[in-house]
Amino acid sequence: MKTREEYIESLKKLNLEVYLLGEKVENPTEHPIIKPSMNSVAMTYELAQQPEYEDLMTVTSSLNGEKINRFTHLHQSTDDLVKKVKMQRLLGQKTASCFQRCVGLDAANAVFSTTYECDEAHGTNYHENFKKYWDRVQKEDLVVDGAMTDTKGDRALSPSQQADPDMYLRVVERREDGIVVRGAKAHQTGIVNSHEVIVMPTIALRPEDKDYAVAFALPADAKGIFMIYGRQSCDTRKLEPNADIDVGNKNFGGHEALMIFDDVFVPNELIFMNGETDFAGMLVERFASYHRQSYGGCKVGVGDVLIGATALAADYNGVPKASHIKDKIIEMNHLNESLYSCGIACSCEGCATKAGNYYVDTLLANVCKQNVTRMPYEITRLAEDIAGGLMVTMPSQQDFDNEKLKPYIEKYLKGTDDVPTEDRMRILRLIENITLGTAAVGYRTESMHGAGSPQAQRIMIGRQANVAHKKELAKEIAGINKKK
Ligand code: SF4
Ligand code: FE
């Protein structure tokens, strides 16, 4: 396994083509806007080296018997699925942001089982391709992004019906030694901190969409790939001199980017689907379900930090004993633990796939994510309620550092006498960061749209809930169709 330092060194060796605020970034690992997100991923390496987290963060590989980081594991039991969620909660607590490495983990588990079943049906060799690839990922302890979401153009049209055929990533050329692909993947979490990327289709496909049924892996710096870094609310605060208090979470963050594949060559051995439209839906559904499980861990961990910050804001205001404050904190915990319960439940109810790795209960995973589209919003509302308006009207750090202004800010923005004004400012800025600032991408809007927008989960819940069986139950109890 790599150490944190080895991970950062390995990133420096990549030749990524990244654009941010209109300019090419020469050294992404040192860029003040990008670096906090790299620190979040680095935490997945750091914790894996610590004896107290060994059981959660490391595991024995099913492919090669070596000790590996759990972020590269193919789940072998429901216990593995549960530990994944617990690991994600821990990382959320340590970073208060999206730590990005789950996407590749979820993609790997989905590709592993889907390629097995695709090979069975079509006589292809994708599963072996994938096993060889993933064995290397585990041994080299790599960060792999999972690229699913196409840009989609006109949502009413299928991929092959689009006015521009590149709105979904597709194969533009088939060669003896591989394929050439073109397209773009949107919202690519953590791609600038990744060594590799696994690309998958974004929806179930019909036979006429054959060129869009494509899955493969590539190094993130493969020729023809480039990334345009996503803008986040308050991101340029990180560029201010001595940026600290106003950033809210100085050391950690997440990121997304628009990833362009400008006629990129993929060699045969890295292809995991090439035209098998009948397996696109399975791959999408499995990846989505794993990632919907993930949100029952990561968002809960960030929620823990937000609840802690909110309770501190109440302490600093001198109102921790007010009954409505106590009740609101209880409500925040109730909502947060409800999300966790779903993450744990869909893991406990998981089962083995034909390929042997474990898969979550899809109904419960979709219920988990559907709750994530709502409950963090209510947790956020309560945090803002308790934090008070000062969270968004407070003077800047530059004002606080100004000799003339500092004594006035210290005097008038003080809460309880025993707490320095600066501490109060720091905790309010942290709440602002999670609810409105750079981390809000991960905690709020990603809660809505990450791992699929709410309607996608409702479709799955509708399919999986077996209402016909429930009707039978009701008929039985009501005595309908029973012979007297
Ligand atoms: Fe992991 Fe959560 Fe970020 Fe997805 S949103 S990559 S599950 S931390
Ligand atoms: Fe996400």
* Domains along the sequence of the chain with CATH: 4-282 (2.40.110.10), 292-471 (1.20.140.10)
Q: Is 290 in the pocket of ligand 1 (CB under 6 A)?
A: no
Residue 331's contacts (CB-CB under 8 Å, 6 or more residues apart) are 378, 382
CA 4 to chain centre: 20
Distance in Å, CA 304 to ligand 2 centroid? 18
Beta bridge partners of 175: 178
Distance in Å, CA 422 to ligand 1 centroid? 31
Strands 196-199 and 178-185: unpaired
CA dist 137 and 98 (Å) reads 21
Tokens of 195: 């060594």
Which one, of 254, 246, 242, 309, lies nearest residue 95 by Cα? 254
Residue 382's contacts (CB-CB under 8 Å, 6 or more residues apart) are 310, 328, 329, 331, 332
pLDDT, position 6: 98
Residue 136's contacts (CB-CB under 8 Å, 6 or more residues apart) are 142
Distance in Å, CA 294 to ligand 1 centroid? 7
**Nearest ligand, measured from the Cα of 98:** 1
Output Rg (C-alpha) for the chain, integer angstroms.
Answer: 24
Residue position matching structure tokens 């794993």: 290
Please tell me whether residue 348 adopts helix, strand or coil conformation: helix
Q: Is 440 in the pocket of ligand 1 (CB under 6 A)?
A: no
Q: Whose CA is nearest to atom 2 of ligand 1?
A: 298
Distance in Å, CA 189 to ligand 1 centroid? 8
Q: Is 145 in the pocket of ligand 1 (CB under 6 A)?
A: no
Q: Is 252 in the pocket of ligand 1 (CB under 6 A)?
A: no
234 burial level (CB within 10 Å; 0-12, 13-18, 19+): middle
**Secondary structure E strands in 169-304:** 170-175, 178-185, 196-199, 214-219, 225-229, 257-267, 271-274
pTM: 0.97
Q: Contact at 8 Å (CB) between 264 and 180?
A: yes
Distance in Å, CA 419 to ligand 1 centroid? 34
Q: Is 106 in the pocket of ligand 1 (CB under 6 A)?
A: no
DSSP per residue over 29-58, as a string?
A: GG-TTTHHHHHHHHHHHHHHTSGGGHHHHE
Q: Is 102 in the pocket of ligand 1 (CB under 6 A)?
A: yes
- Residues that are catalytic: 98, 102, 189, 256, 291, 295, 298, 446
- Walk along the chain (484 residues) and give the pLDDT tens digit of each residue: 999 999 999 999 999 999 999 999 999 999 999 999 999 999 999 999 999 999 999 999 999 999 999 999 999 999 999 999 999 999 999 999 999 999 999 999 999 999 999 999 999 999 999 999 999 999 999 999 999 999 999 999 999 999 999 999 999 999 999 999 999 999 999 999 999 999 999 999 999 999 999 999 999 999 999 999 999 999 999 999 999 999 999 999 999 999 999 999 999 999 999 999 999 999 999 999 999 999 999 999 999 999 999 999 999 999 999 999 999 999 999 999 999 999 999 999 999 999 999 999 999 999 999 999 999 999 999 999 999 999 999 999 999 999 999 999 999 999 999 999 999 999 999 999 999 999 999 999 999 999 999 999 999 999 999 999 999 999 999 999 876 6
Q: Is 40 in the pocket of ligand 1 (CB under 6 A)?
A: no
Mutational pocket test of ligand 1: of 38, 95, 98, the residue with most ligand atoms within 8 Å of the beta carbon: 98
Residue position matching structure tokens 């400008």: 262
Residue 350's contacts (CB-CB under 8 Å, 6 or more residues apart) are 75, 78, 81, 358, 359, 360, 361
Q: Contact at 8 Å (CB) between 180 and 172?
A: yes
Q: If you ran DSSP here, which 8-state letter would residue 219 be given?
A: E
**Nearest ligand, measured from the Cα of 298:** 1
Q: Is 343 in the pocket of ligand 1 (CB under 6 A)?
A: no
Q: Whose CA is nearest to atom 6 of ligand 1?
A: 100
Q: Whose CA is nearest to atom 5 of ligand 1?
A: 98
Mutational pocket test of ligand 1: of 298, 434, 438, the residue with most ligand atoms within 8 Å of the beta carbon: 298
CA dist 251 and 7 (Å) reads 17
DSSP per residue over 58-121, as a string?
A: EEE-TTT--EEEGGG----SHHHHHHHHHHHHHHHHHHSS---THHHHHHHHHHHHHHHHHHHH
Q: Is 256 in the pocket of ligand 1 (CB under 6 A)?
A: no
Side-chain half-sphere CA neighbours of 259 within 13 A: 34
Distance in Å, CA 325 to ligand 2 centroid? 31
Distance in Å, CA 463 to ligand 1 centroid? 25
